[in-house]
Structure 1
């Protein structure tokens, strides 16, 4: 996936062939190419993109780039290109056979390129064995999610973001003298202590706001109370999870894995994770952007749900690595 390389996509009926520009590890297509890809007209693509931008489902500046394009007459023009996030989002709005084929194709490519054939400087990472092993396990966990599931556009984009953000974070850690994944750039001083009663009040507010079945948030046993207590557990006066980030990561893990509620366990876990970070003033960076994107949180929650019990530590490391001070 080198910058400037070309990938050819062809639909199964042999009618559609698109030159895909790969730049900064994502594909870029013009509106005309997207229309050809999905077997529709350019005005339809313009409409879908405008609606996506208007509703803030995707941010225009993050998915659009002005690239130099050479026309058939040899002249060079500046042309708007849209990346994979935009193409996927449009593809899930277009109703056509080509759009369906493309969704199948992207899931296949996602698995082949990002899970089976991820491209990293292996020699460099092997110099920091802990980081390299952590990345290998992360990729395997991504594979666990991809194997049994047909992913939506948002879930697929989330998995891509988890992997790209995680490898970026590893690179940053490497530059910082091979520091640990879990204990660097975290925050030790909590401004908020989560209690069982406060957490249940937050869960009930979630149900009231968005609706839900009568079983949503209904506790099956005492395990949720235990999850809240466990993140504050200590031994010999030392917290087992000393930072806010580690507490948040384990809260997400425990709520997903303990299945404490009759319905909505993953939604409740993701909500409490965000709630806990927000209450401690760590949900947003200094520039006002979220430390972890919504689709990446969806992907992490799915990864935790599919992970094995002996993978708890690596899952916690992944989560902490994506929300610590380096990101």
Structure 2
């Protein structure tokens, strides 16, 4: 039987086994709604048999992508930064530290800083403004166009995800060793980590500032919205078709010929 049929029967059958199924399904659904994920740990720990599809690598790739998302990465970098002996809870310093780490990783992955990739690739005339990653349904919000990761192609994104995840693991191991580290030490360790993996190091501030990139991205977004609003929507086209049909004169009834 198909999975859809099994689920449908499981929710309808009135038996002890059906009750067990509904309890199990409700527990999985509750876990998903509360935590945002549900996993079969034992199945993931043990590779499937021959001829069965293995989804383990797909799950790892999705986790890497989540960990390297800008908000998650920013929080993780700040957690690492907070272990520095010269740490001060200053927002401006925190943002500069994050920008330095982020730019070094972007440069290692594709040869541009975060600001450079936004400035070079954002274009209102291109499909989805040049973004390779959008919200479901191709929806683009203003805040999306200032995130460099959204412009990367699959190969560049895969490289960045792996660099970010590997560095986070490395930094967490360093933090567990309880060794005294300064902010400068963390940057030095990042350079050493990138050298070890034979990536190119960023040794300058980049040709485009974050402010320039954000300004251009938001201007292009405004242009994009105007272009999109000028396009006829499917519902408008359907409405015009109905109106035209209503405007057509009704055919005159034909007179019946007398016998």
| Alignment TM-score, normalising by the size of structure 1 | 0.19
Instruction: Identify the structure with the greater strand proportion.
Output: 1
Instruction: Identify the structure with the greater helix proportion.
Output: 2
Structure whose alpha-carbon radius of gyration is higher: 2
Between 1 and 2, higher relative CO (CA 8 Å, sep ≥ 6) is seen in 2
| Alignment TM-score, normalising by the size of structure 2 | 0.22
